[in-house]
Amino acid sequence: MKYIGISILCMLLLAVSAFCGFGFLATFEPLENPAAGIVFRTGYGVIGSAAILAIVLLIVRACRLHKTPDAAAESATPEQTDG
Inform me whether the pLDDT recorded for 74 exceeds 60: no
4-33 pLDDT, tens digit per residue, is: 888 999 999 999 999 999 999 998 888 888
7 in helix, strand or coil?
helix
80 in helix, strand or coil?
helix
End-to-end CA separation in angstroms for the chain: 29
The verdict on residue 82 lying in a domain is no
Number of domains in the chain: 1
The verdict on residue 15 lying in a domain is yes
The verdict on residue 63 lying in a domain is yes
Banded model confidence at residue 82, pLDDT cuts 50, 70, 90: low
In terms of residue numbers, what domain contains 11?
2-68
